Amino acid sequence: MANKEVKKSADALGTATPREDPLADTRSLISQEIPHGVNRRSFLMRSAVGGAAAVMTGCSVSPEEKTAKAVATLPAPAAVTAPPLALDLHVVMKEKGPILTTVDEFYKVGPGPSSSHTIGPMRITYDFYQRATQLPADKLATATKLQVNLFGSLSATGKGHGTERAALAGLVGKEPATVDPKFLDSLRDKPDQVFPVKLGDKTINVSLKDVIYDATKGDFKHPNTMTVKLLAGSDVLLEQEYYSVGGGFIEWKGYTPPKKNPPKYPFATMKELRAHAESNKTTMAKIMLANEMSISGKSEAEVYAFTDKIINAMVATVKSGLSMSEDDVLPGPIKLHSKAATVYKRAMDDKFESDRGIGAISAFALAASEENGRGHLVITAPTGGSAGVMPALVYGLVEVRKVPLQKVREGMLAAAAVGYLCKHHATLSAAEGGCQAEIGVASSMAAALTATAFDADSHVVENAAESALEHHLGMTCDPVAGYVQVPCIERCAFGAVKAWTAYAIASNEIASRHRIDFDATVLALAQTAKEMNSKYKETSEAGLALSVVLC
Ligand code: SF4
């Protein structure tokens, strides 16, 4: 019965105030302001119960009285609604102040399959090798051995990632961006090879036996911890504890970020970045370019020369993956057949254009991700495991849609901003945050890339990035047999398609009505990372890694 009818029948009965109908219009109830510090759901329930009781007892209660009664029966509000993140947690923002990361630190070319388990360890042992060469000649003359110990996730899943081969390659002076993947393949095929390492006048022989898979559990500062030592018999000449913190970034005990020039437009949140863009009537990509130039001291041409190199490398990795034989089998015990070429060919035969589009994006992502699984060169965007996501969209924009290069360059800068913010406030490491930190961030970056390349305004770029990240929250990391293949390769395809979906939604909705802001979702990423069971953080101890039995 509608309120008006209730009133009419009450009047007919000569009743001054009608009884409330509990099924009547509740808008007055809902539109009441929720008192400060009160949980909305509890308040509404108690308020409704109060109203129903009034109907049953025949007592009329005004909305204000209902509010007072509902509040009086509520339990005392909790002092803090969201638990603070533990300060000793790595995923808590460690770097105070504005973001100072630059594109050449962020997008790294190196061998797959994992930026934290191959590129990071290779950079670490290369760094140690450089430090060791600085020791006095008399010390170096006594050196007998180089030794690498892998701990935590590096030890738990390093074998599947080829971490020992990457670590040895760095020790013998190979760098991730220029190493020939065939060198790493040769270490796999002939594991007994011995290499001379020259330190001053001294030459030390090293082999895979010098890389030790050590404790998987312990009180490590970071889940991806390793030590490198130069020994003279049992005496330690030089020792350094390192951390491969995700995305190929490395740190070490006592690490302090390098001093850099201040950015032209300082920002530490998406809100601040977007505010710079809007107040300067420009795009986020242009703000990023100005910051890149002021932090690194590079010219615009130099910044774009680097983004071009990365765009070309991404296109090349997709092309290379698509060119692989449909009968190719990826290395490792899963015996996974590559399928990028098959999916692409068959998708092109689909009747509907939309099906062809989704099939093609998936195939591009599979292609780049399978290259990662082969240990070939990939680009961290932000990581090796997620190395199929951004290249899929870049390839689609450059090779299929023929978007002007300048737009794709700007997209790369906007995508980098998304990656920086996730690194700054949460993590890019699956060992800390599960797959949401890899594929989730990659998808979010790819959504920002796409929106920027299609000239969307800053609000749409933020919304697209937010949406893609939001729908990866909670995603665990459970690579089967410790190999970055299942679920990783298909997951890249899903990340790429979700990036496109996020762009499609963001560019078609009314931007100002998007209710979740990017910064809140990054906080949710950090919080979820903190509370995720460690079994689901690149340890291959749970999830698919447990349920899939290889035969
Ligand atoms: S499951 Fe995700 S995070 Fe884990 S290795 Fe695979 S791609 Fe990386």
Percentage helix, strand, coil for the chain under 3-state DSSP, each rounded to 5: 55, 10, 35
Q: Whose CA is nearest to atom 8 of ligand 1?
A: 385
Residue from 163, 484, 486, 536 whose mutation best tests the ligand 1 pocket (most atoms within 8 A of CB): 484
Residue from 477, 541, 544 whose mutation best tests the ligand 1 pocket (most atoms within 8 A of CB): 477
Q: What is the pLDDT of residue 420?
A: 97
- Over the Cα atoms of the chain, what is R_g? 28
Residue from 336, 488, 498 whose mutation best tests the ligand 1 pocket (most atoms within 8 A of CB): 488
CA of 483 to the centre of ligand 1 (A): 9
Instruction: Report the DSSP pairing between strands 235-246 and 249-252.
Output: antiparallel
Which positions ≥6 away from 432 have C-beta within 8 Å? 90, 91, 222, 223, 246, 529, 537
For residues 115 and 246, the answer to whether their CB atoms sit within 8 Å is yes
Q: What is the pLDDT of residue 12?
A: 37
Q: Which residues of 433-453 are buried (b: 16+ CB within 10 A; e: fewer)?
A: bbbbbbbbbbbbbbbbbbbbb
φ, ψ at 244 (rounded to 5°):
-95, 100
- Read off the tokens for 488: 């990783």
Calculated CA dihedral for residues 308, 314, 317, 323, nearest 10 degrees? -90
Q: What is the pLDDT of residue 350?
A: 96
CA of 190 to the centre of ligand 1 (A): 28
**Distances in Å between the alpha carbon of 501 and those of 138, 404, 446, 447, 469?**
62, 22, 11, 8, 12
Residue from 117, 429, 435 whose mutation best tests the ligand 1 pocket (most atoms within 8 A of CB): 435
Lining residues, ligand 1, CB within 6 Å:
385-386, 430, 435, 438-439, 477, 479, 484, 487-488, 491, 538
Q: What is the pLDDT of residue 247?
A: 83
Q: What is the pLDDT of residue 90?
A: 54
Q: Whose CA is nearest to atom 2 of ligand 1?
A: 435
Q: Whose CA is nearest to atom 1 of ligand 1?
A: 477
| DSSP one-letter string for 16-70 | SSPPPPTTS--HHHHTSPPPTT--HHHHHHHHHHHHHHHHHHT----HHHHHHHH
Q: What is the pLDDT of residue 127?
A: 95
Question: What number does the ligand 1 atom closest to the CA of 478 have?
Answer: 1
Q: What is the pLDDT of residue 63?
A: 52
CA of 498 to the centre of ligand 1 (A): 16
CA of 361 to the centre of ligand 1 (A): 19
Strand partners, 252: 242
On the 0-12 / 13-18 / 19+ scale of CB atoms within 10 A, 362 is: buried
CA of 225 to the centre of ligand 1 (A): 18
Q: Whose CA is nearest to atom 3 of ligand 1?
A: 435
pLDDT under 70: residue ranges of the chain: 1-95
Q: What is the pLDDT of residue 115?
A: 87
CA of 213 to the centre of ligand 1 (A): 21
Residue from 116, 432, 491, 535 whose mutation best tests the ligand 1 pocket (most atoms within 8 A of CB): 491
For residues 517 and 270, the answer to whether their CB atoms sit within 8 Å is yes
CA of 540 to the centre of ligand 1 (A): 10
> Within its chain, how far is the Cα of 294 from the centroid?
26
| DSSP one-letter string for 436-504 | GGTHHHHHHHHHHHHHHHTT--HHHHHHHHHHHHHTTTT--B--GGG-TTTTHHHHHHHHHHHHHHHHH
For residues 184 and 166, the answer to whether their CB atoms sit within 8 Å is yes
Question: What number does the ligand 1 atom closest to the CA of 383 have?
Answer: 8
CA of 343 to the centre of ligand 1 (A): 21
Distance (Å, whole) CA 407 – CA 283: 11
User: In 3-state terms, what secondary structure has residue 246?
Assistant: strand
Question: pTM here?
Answer: 0.78
Q: What is the pLDDT of residue 27?
A: 41
